[in-house]
């Protein structure tokens, strides 16, 4: 299966966003942490973070070097050495696979390059004030499309998708939104497959003959539906999730 470079980059960013526990930026000269991004839908254990920090203190790298370590809880930490900054990313177990490793490494390396380009003057003579990197939050959210891992709901926009896979996904999303209220993109793959099976049963078709595309194809179709506004993230999910949920727990 082959994808173009744009699709590969979209998929790699999604794999990172699903798997990241923390992305840290470190001042290369002093090995001091200057910025930390904790994924809002994940949690990194204190012992895991401490272990990664200890590796950082001992680690000596040359410019453009990359090092990967497996931590005691089976999560993995990647270090990239830039010109003035070092990137450290702790990822959930299983995020780095034969299929995703090179893509993820390339995307993180590219982000470090863009971060250094954005803050080149500050990094040249940094005085220890970490508040100057406050806009790095925006950079990471925009660059990695962090909102893809947020809860989503369906939104009808007055037209139907052109592609059959997108049509099935939007139908499944709309149905689940009406019944439950919200979903995650990973769940939507399963929900769409079940929706297609239900249609096949109603038509009396042979279930064994149903062939589904790869998960990557599902993700790319969902990314496009998000672009069209037919899948919308719930912004303040911690506060608003209860407003969207149709489940009564009383």
Domain segments of the chain: what residues?
A: 5-149, 152-244
pLDDT of residue 40: 75
CATH fold for domain 5-149: Beta-Lactamase (3.30.450)
Q: Which stretches of the chain score pLDDT less than 50?
A: 244-250
pLDDT of residue 73: 94
Token pair for residue 81?
């050495």
**pTM exceeding the 0.85 threshold for the entire prediction:** no
pLDDT of residue 245: 43
């Amino acid at each position: 299966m082959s994808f173009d470079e744009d699709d590969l980059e979209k998929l790699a960013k999604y794999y990172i966003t699903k798997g990241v526990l923390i992305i840290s930026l470190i001042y290369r000269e002093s090995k001091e942490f200057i910025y930390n991004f904790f994924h809002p839908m994940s949690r990194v254990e204190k012992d895991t973070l401490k272990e990664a920090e200890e590796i950082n203190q001992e680690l000596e790298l040359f410019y453009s070097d990359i090092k990967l370590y497996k931590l005691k809880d089976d999560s993995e930490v990647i270090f990239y050495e830039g010109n003035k900054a070092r990137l450290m990313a702790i990822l959930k177990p299983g995020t780095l696979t034969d299929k995703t490793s090179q893509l993820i490494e390339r995307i993180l390396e590219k982000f470090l390059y863009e971060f250094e380009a954005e803050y080149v003057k500050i990094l040249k003579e940094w005085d220890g004030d970490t508040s100057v990197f406050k806009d790095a939050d925006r950079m990471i959210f925009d660059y990695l499309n962090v909102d893809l891992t947020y809860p989503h709901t369906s939104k009808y926009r007055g037209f139907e998708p052109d592609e059959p896979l997108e049509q099935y996904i939007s139908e499944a999303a709309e149905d689940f939104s009406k019944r439950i209220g919200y979903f995650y993109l990973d769940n939507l793959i399963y929900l769409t497959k079940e929706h297609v099976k239900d249609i096949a049963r109603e038509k009396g078709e042979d279930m064994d003959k149903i062939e589904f595309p790869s998960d990557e194809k599902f993700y790319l179709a969902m990314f496009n539906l998000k672009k069209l506004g037919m899948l919308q993230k719930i912004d303040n999910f911690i506060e608003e999730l209860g407003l969207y949920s149709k489940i009564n727990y009383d």
